[in-house]
Amino acid sequence: MIDYRSIEQKWQKAWDDAKVFDPEPDEREPFMITAAFPYVNAPQHIGHIRTYGTTDTYARYKRMQGFNVLYPMALHATGTPVLAFAKRIANKDKELIDELRIFHVADDDIMRMSDPEYIASYFAKEMEGGMRAAGYSIDWRRKFISIEPIFSKFVEWQFYKLKEKGYITRGKHPIGWCTNEKNAVGQHDTRHDVQPEIQQVTVVKFKDPSSGIFFGCATYRPETLYGVTNIFVNGKARYVIANIDGNRYYLTKKAAEMLALQFNIVIESELDGSELLSKKAVNPIDNSEVPILPGFFVKEDTGTGVVMSVPAHAPFDYVALERLKSENYPMPEMQYKRVVVVEKGGDGIGLGRSLSDVSAGQAKAEHPEVPALAYLELLHADDKAIDDVVEFATKLLYREESHWGIMDVGEFKGMKEPEARELIKAKLLKEGNAFNIHTVANDEPVYCRCGTKVIVNIVDQWFINYGDKKWKDLVKGMFPHMAIYPEKLRLTFDNLIDWIDLRAAERSQGLGTKFPFSEGHIIESLSDSTIYMCFYTFVHIIRAKDIRVDQLKPEFFEYVILGSGGADAVESATGIDAGTVNRCRESFEYWYKNTSRHSAPDLVPNHLIMYIFNHVGILRKENWPKQIVVNGFVNYEGEKMSKSLGNIIPVVDGIEKYGADPLRFIEIAGADLDTTTEFSADGVSSVHARNSYILESIKSLSSMKSKELSHIDYWLYSKLNSKIRNATSHMEGISLKSAYTEIYYNSINELKRYMDRGGDNGIVVREFLEDMVLMLAPIMPHVAEEFWSMLGKSTLIAKERWPIANDSMVNEPEEMVEEIIDRTIDDIKQSIELTAKIGANKEKRPSEIKIIIASPWKSKAYNMLVARKNMKEVMENGELAGVDKEELSKFLSQFMKRINMLVARTELEEGLLLRAFVEAEEYISDKFGNAKIVAESEKDSKSARASRALPEKPSIDILWD
RNA sequence: GCAGGGAUAGCAAAGCAUGGCCAAAUGCGAUGGGUUUAGGGCUCAUUCCCGUAGGGGUUCGAGAGUUCAAAUCUCUCUCCCUGCACCA
């Protein structure tokens, strides 16, 4: 068993002592690789190894490719989480404290965590320790925390630049809002953590001809306007006459209060809903006059409190009208007009697919002309829980019609419903017959933690305008030149680049940099970390020179990052000596041209998109992003790792238990880049076993001698070199799983096979092991160092070069021969199994197995046939003149029926296959209870089965005794 | 609703871009054998169905199509997952 802990510590110290990972500019090509800095509100667990370990593996690989690699790290602490954390500690939150104990945080430290600064510095230190233990090749001299004043100066400068470019604008945006706390409400601020869903709703204006006042009917389906029979109001609610932008409307009092956050509303008078019931209103789509009726389901605090009634398509409307009828409410005769039909198959009007599921297919609606009724019937609306049924019917019908509906009346007859909806909506808006409002659209009302119902507010604040046309075009122009791994994410990025628009830039609470253009606010905490990687290139210089915060004026960054002005001018403006300023500038210029950004997929729609935009918006073209790498998450024994599931393993515990390298290997090479890795203890132990095998192999080298190369040696060389070649190309594409399947799992199998086949050439095995260990160095750096030194090397493998494939050693025929041997063994096995059942062979064992290798003309004839697809042409070909015609015809005819499906095969050198089989006789014999194996050529064979031999499929003749 | 992704054998998961060496890699699980045999570790074999010689049959969400040939291309459908703004 390998003692991982002691190996890790030994080599980590060696790296530190040799300062292998603290690079400064030199003559080599630079490569700067950064991963999203971790947030300091919890210690790291083993899942984090996926991102930072993948980044490290790539950094180490690049280093071995001869690049001067910088892998820096910082920590993120701005925004509200750290504050919230401190508050929870101050309140002695038990859940949080228990969680911290899982991570071995001492009670003493926990007590002090009511101070946000303490939290940040505690976890900063804790995380650094974990990352060092995992063996990341990080330059820790450049570490900083995003709430440090020197960093804030940099962020401030960033925002001056955005403002200067015109990318920061003031604007309005609908957000969830608590009227009690007068605060924006996000998911974390609501009861049960629901995300307030804000949607646009169209308000259609129905004019009361007697007064000129409008009934504003809120609807998601303005296209059903053709089927309106009446308007519903809540007879028991208080209504107002409100003036909105010059027009007067009837609204519920509550609706008016809510809409006051979205519009300028002047309330003129109040009245009871019942007073509206005598009125009439004009439908703007066809100027028909409809009555106002009481609707039992109309809620006074939803929408406008005025609803247009479309009984043919809205189950609630239908039910309400039925109820009125049964109560003998006086109302005029009305026509339920179907507006939309759902086509189903060829049999005319159907009720759609979802309904047939519900009603188990036997559904035959009696009233297809009134879909709302049909749905209710089929869902058995006579049920007690009537409201539930009606609601379910509403949802189903809405979904069905929105998906499959075709307009049956009006201007847009024949058009698909969703398309017609947009056109009608646009038309109504244009003609002044409607306007849009925003509303919280969740099924259930959303409440703030304080208990107040969340409504929509339109706030006026600073935004970063990612919708800026010029900016967006710049990004669209550069993005195709960026490398994206995995490449299939490119489309996602493209869509997001199109989609991203205004984004709030300020926040009223949290840690961070003061927003420079409005009092009392801080910069939103994703916006402050979009170009921070620049800071790594010179932060250690600032620190070493003890530069004061107040010296970090815009002039400094302007020169260091953009090269504007000059070092002397910066010196006189800031007092920082010109030499230091120039060093910062040179460092930035050197490092920030060849960069790679790594993160988990959750940051794609926000951080990574903003990362691209901000770079393009602020930096010079040569410093724009070059490549982005996105890696997936990690599951633990089939489940997502989460604190609530209790399956979180802190990094330090994981390393203690499994070893840093096996842990790294499983997480990094366990799955393709963008998919979730399954972490399991079984996987780890299989890595342990393989590492031990490598260890034993290295030890066994001393007992091996060098000798002349045989077929199996050439085969192993060939495998080795094709593995190096394949692995290198996988590494270049950051397909770490494929790369390490080749380097590790497959290579070990090849080595085993080599030994199994009797290979024992010390020179060959040593070369194989050396290259394999070199290629393992990026992912299992500690173990690789250990193996490297066991192989007698005195250098650090971290500073060695990646092996280069020798293509001339890749020997396709030798590899093919091995495959044929393998397949032949399988065939023999199968044949024995089947023929053993024959009566004559009962109680017997195979005594001799003849393996008959096909005559060389066969593969020639075969390939000729595949190329010409014509038997006659092959028969008459001069190259096959020496072959017996009858035999040739028999051979060829067996392929004729599948002639079009056959593929040409490589022709092996004459005699190669036979020689290899002869060499392998002992190996094969071993597999069949030491039966005698005779490999012979078809020509020399006396077996009756000899003529059955095919080019890559020797004939087999089994003799039983 | 909008946008993106997915559906492969008991499970997990490759392959589909460039259709044919795909009954489909690999891992786990299961079954059997070996190992001075501990139900552990390691190791070998088997793991869709049938088969008295290396063969045949039916498979890659469902259906249709293109093709000599489709897990792979086209179309339609069904189902699942993720994100959607003040939240890091």
- For the stretch A647-698, pLDDT in tens is 788 899 999 988 999 999 988 988 888 888 878 887 888 888 889 889 989 9
Strand B close to A501 by CB, under 7 A? yes
State the pLDDT at residue A306: 94
Considering only residues 668-697 of protein chain A, which place a Cβ less than 7 A from any atom of strand B?
671-672, 675-676, 678, 682-683, 685-686, 689, 693
Considering only residues 90-149 of protein chain A, which place a Cβ less than 7 A from any atom of strand B?
none
Strand B close to A463 by CB, under 7 A? yes
Find which of A84-88, A210-214, A870-874 is predicted with most confidence, using mean pLDDT. Answer: A210-214
Is the pLDDT confidence value at A490 over 70? yes
Strand B close to A442 by CB, under 7 A? no
pLDDT class for A343, splitting at 50, 70, 90? low
A425 or A358, higher pLDDT? A425
Strand B close to A609 by CB, under 7 A? no
Mean pLDDT, residues A117-142 taken together? 96
Neighbouring-strand partners of residue A635: A640, A678
Mean pLDDT, residues A555-583 taken together? 96
Neighbours of A766 (CB within 10 A): 17
Q: Stated in angstroms, how far is A466 CA from B24 C1'?
A: 47
State the pLDDT at residue A842: 67
Is the pLDDT confidence value at A324 over 80? yes
The DSSP-derived string for A815-880 is HHHHHHHHHHHHHHHHHHHHHTTSGGGTT--EEEEEEEEPPHHHHHHHHHHHHH--HHHHHT-GGG
Which contacts (CB < 8 Å, 24+ apart) does range A22-29 have?
A22/A139, A22/A141, A23/A68, A23/A69, A23/A70, A23/A139, A24/A587, A25/A68, A25/A586, A25/A587, A25/A590, A25/A591, A26/A68, A28/A66, A28/A67, A28/A68, A29/A66, A29/A67, A29/A68, A29/A594
Distance CA A746, CA A59 (A): 24
Is the pLDDT confidence value at A412 over 90? no
Is the pLDDT confidence value at A349 over 70? no
Helix spans in A314-363 (H): 315-326, 353-358
Is the separation of the CB atoms in A837 and A864 below 8 Å? no
Question: Closest nt to A507 (CA→C1')?
Answer: B86
Mean pLDDT, residues A548-554 taken together? 97
Is the pLDDT confidence value at A502 over 90? no
Which nucleotides in chain B have some atom under 7 angstroms from a protein Cβ? Answer: 1-6, 12-15, 20-21, 26-29, 41-46, 51-54, 68-69, 77-79, 83-88
Neighbours of A886 (CB within 10 A): 8
ipTM field = 0.90
pLDDT class for A763, splitting at 50, 70, 90? very high
- Nearest to A500, CA basis, from A464, A524, A526, A532: A464
Each residue's pLDDT tens digit, A288-303: 999 999 998 898 888 8
Q: Stated in angstroms, how far is A830 CA from B48 C1'?
A: 18
State the pLDDT at residue A157: 96
Count Cβ neighbours within 10 Å for each residue of A681-697 and write b for 16 or more, e otherwise. Answer: eebbeebbebbeebbeb
Considering only residues 422-441 of protein chain A, which place a Cβ less than 7 A from any atom of strand B?
none
A734 or A172, higher pLDDT? A734
Considering only residues 873-902 of protein chain A, which place a Cβ less than 7 A from any atom of strand B?
900-901
State the pLDDT at residue A356: 44
Neighbours of A414 (CB within 10 A): 8
Distance CA A805, CA A724 (A): 5
Is the pLDDT confidence value at A631 over 80? yes
Strand B close to A913 by CB, under 7 A? no
- Nearest to A265, CA basis, from A238, A304, A231, A228: A304
pLDDT class for A645, splitting at 50, 70, 90? low
Which residue's alpha carbon is at the shortest distance from the C1' of B46? Answer: A830
Mean pLDDT, residues A5-25 taken together? 97
Residue A684, CB-side half-sphere exposure with 13 Å CA sphere: 19
CA A375: distance to chain centroid? 40
State the pLDDT at residue A643: 67
- Nearest to A255, CA basis, from A217, A302, A214, A298: A302
Each residue's pLDDT tens digit, A943-959: 888 888 888 888 888 88
Strand B close to A491 by CB, under 7 A? yes
Distance CA A587, CA A583 (A): 6
Question: Closest nt to A745 (CA→C1')?
Answer: B26
Q: Stated in angstroms, how far is A757 CA from B76 C1'?
A: 54
Mean pLDDT, residues A578-607 taken together? 95
Considering only residues 53-82 of protein chain A, which place a Cβ less than 7 A from any atom of strand B?
76, 78-81
Neighbours of A145 (CB within 10 A): 18
Q: Is A368 helix (H, G, I), strand (E, B) or coil?
A: coil
Residue with tokens 């006074």: A300
State the pLDDT at residue A361: 39
State the pLDDT at residue A950: 84
Is the separation of the CB atoms in A268 and A327 below 8 Å? no
Distance CA A560, CA A543 (A): 15
- By the 10 Å C-beta count (0-12 exposed, 13-18 middle, 19+ buried), A71 is classed as buried
- Please report, for residues A145, A539, A584, A736, the alpha-carbon distance to residue A535 in angstroms, rounded to integers and kept in the order given: 11, 6, 10, 29
Find which of A17-31, A432-446, A699-713 is predicted with most confidence, using mean pLDDT. Answer: A17-31
The DSSP H or E segment spanning A504 is strand A502-504
Q: Mean pLDDT score of chain A, rounded to an integer? A: 87
Task: Give the amino acid at A88.
Answer: R
A444 or A117, higher pLDDT? A117
Is the pLDDT confidence value at A706 over 70? yes
State the pLDDT at residue A384: 52
Longest dimension (CA), chain A: 114
Considering only residues 629-648 of protein chain A, which place a Cβ less than 7 A from any atom of strand B?
none
Strand B close to A472 by CB, under 7 A? no
* DSSP letter, residue A384: S
State the pLDDT at residue A165: 94
- By the 10 Å C-beta count (0-12 exposed, 13-18 middle, 19+ buried), A149 is classed as exposed
pLDDT class for A347, splitting at 50, 70, 90? very low
Each residue's pLDDT tens digit, A188-209: 777 777 778 888 888 999 999 9
Count Cβ neighbours within 10 Å for each residue of A924-934 and write b for 16 or more, e otherwise. Answer: beeebeebebb
Is the pLDDT confidence value at A348 over 70? no
Q: In the structure encoding, which two tokens stand for residue A314, read together?
A: 């809205």
Strand B close to A611 by CB, under 7 A? no
Please say whether the dihedral angle defined by the alpha carbons of residues A870, A876, A879 and A880, taken in this order, is positive or negative: positive
State the pLDDT at residue A814: 84
Mean pLDDT, residues A463-474 taken together? 92
Strand B close to A507 by CB, under 7 A? yes
Strand-strand pairing, A280-282 and A289-294: antiparallel
Is the pLDDT confidence value at A712 over 70? yes
Is the pLDDT confidence value at A598 over 90? yes
